[in-house]
Amino acid sequence: MLSKLRDINFGELADKMLNLIGLEDGWWERVVGLLTYNPSSPMTLDSGFFLFAFLLFGIGYMVVKPVARLRTLYVVLFSLYFYYKLSGIYLLLLLFVAISDFLVGRRVAHSRENGGGKGWVALSVTINVAILAYFKATNFFVDTINNLYGNGTLDWESVVVPAGVSFFVFQSIAYVMDIYRGTIKPLKHLSDYIFLLSFFPKMFLGPLVKAKDFIPQIEAPRLPISRDDLGRAVMLIAGGLIKYGILAKALGTLFVAPAFAGELGDGGMVALMAIYGFTLQIYCDFSGYSDMAVGVALLMGFRLPDNFDAPYHSATITEFWRRWHISLSTWLKDYLYISLGGNRRGSVRTYLNLILTMFLGGLWHGVGLTFIAWGLLHGIALALHKLWLKIIPNAKAVGRDMKWWWRIPAVVFTFHIVAFGWLLFTAKDMSEVEGVLSAIAYRFCIADFVPMVERSAVAFAIMAVGYVMHFLPRKVDNAVMRGITRSGFIGQWLIMLLAIWAVMQCDMLLMANGGGGALPMYAAF
């Protein structure tokens, strides 16, 4: 009997069985291809493979969810697999950071009891900043040397930036510093710390979470989900899919990318509309992904902080940074601005700390003159607003309480400061910035608007819809969420399926149009 079993070719038998149900030869290679890392097709939250994998994950998650330790291990394994599918070998970098700071955090806690710990914190910061510097600055340094002294001076292979490296490095620095400050105690299990760093919804574009808020959720015996939670999760995921997978991609492909490439003309009107288009595109791209992350986490019972709060409603630059990428601005304030002295050392030092904080925030996004200029622009603007508040005591720090006749022009002014910053953010170099501004200053013709809209009618319709959606009052969002909540389980599933179908249709149409236009957000953040 055993000899007969040994003679059976199980691979050939499996192929024959699969052929009987309609699958062709080579199925195993295709399965392996789906399960392994493919650098040309990384997995993202809006990809079909992720949606299928998350469905399978969710079935198992419902089984393990009531048991905290089993739940943690299950989510960690899926998160690590997800990161592998996106970054391949750089999974080892994530594990290195996790193990390193898990051990350092324990040493910090032990040393802190004896009045020490600064050396261990410095070690953690040095390791993490060195990792960021290598991946973010090496290409810039090599290109600069080669441009100065001739190509080939430094024969260095281009460095690929791992997905989400900025986020898990910042998260790890915050964990060690929180232990030193006494805000939290070190985690007992390495798996819990890997969970904190690698939790897949938030890993790549945030939001950054505060350890003191998220660790209790990891350790919680139960993670209840209310009816309102379910409705909010569906709204966030469906809305995020529409913003990220339709508005941002379509606007980038159909208008922003070709406009900046000069394919739509070199007039000032095209240049100005390209800036307005990118201003909406980067918001829809980044906030849409963040919304999906918060929604997916909420479906699992985990509560992540909201990362965006209609930022283009802002009437001051200070208000903008309380609405835009809230978790990053909070991190910069808590771990950089305050560490530099904050506002405790006089007005001049406060202004310098603001400028330095945003300068370093620009370098976090990327090492280059355009990112430096972007950071300095926001730092100087924040310092000037702080000075304005000191000169005019009755001025509003945030702007929410302004009278409408003052708030409206303030919103318009702040919006254009931010939009100019996004030009710095997206430009390849300062010469491109100069070219765009020169077109607006010297080749601007309002009569170009109508033919431009006729040529890119779909893109302008998308831009109009996006801005209208963004400037709708909060009560509209609340009404939509109540409606989704009341729609019940079947209605919510239909909403999700409709959003997924719409994104798939948009992808196919954009591919037929030539693709492109998507933001390289993993590299920028």
Q: What is the pLDDT of residues 298-342, one digit of tens each?
A: 999 999 999 999 999 999 999 999 999 999 999 999 998 988 888
Query: Rounded distance, CA 393 to CA 227, Å?
Result: 46
Amino acid 320: pLDDT: 95
Structure tokens at 344: 């405790």
pTM as predicted? 0.87
* HSE-up of residue 371 (Cα within 13 Å, Cβ side): 15
| Mean pLDDT along residues 164-179 | 92
Inter-residue contact 308 to 256 (CB < 8 Å): no
Q: What is the pLDDT of residues 330-356, one digit of tens each?
A: 999 999 898 888 888 788 889 999 999
- Sequence-ordered list of residues with C-beta below 8 angstroms from that of 27, at least 6 positions apart, any chain: 14, 15, 18
So which residues are the catalytic ones? 365
Residue 77, exposed/middle/buried by CB under 10 A (0-12, 13-18, 19+)?
A: middle
- Sequence-ordered list of residues with C-beta below 8 angstroms from that of 55, at least 6 positions apart, any chain: none
Instruction: Give the number of residues written for the chain.
Output: 525
Task: Measure the CA dihedral 155/156/157/160, to 10°.
Answer: -160
| Mean pLDDT along residues 106-133 | 90
The owner of tokens 């009052």 is 473
Inter-residue contact 269 to 448 (CB < 8 Å): yes
Amino acid 315: pLDDT: 92
More confident residue, 392 or 111: 111
For the chain, the domains span: 79-219, 227-315+402-524
Which residue type sits at 427? A
Cis peptide before 207 (omega within 30 of 0): yes
Query: Rounded distance, CA 264 to CA 274, Å?
Result: 10
Inter-residue contact 347 to 439 (CB < 8 Å): no
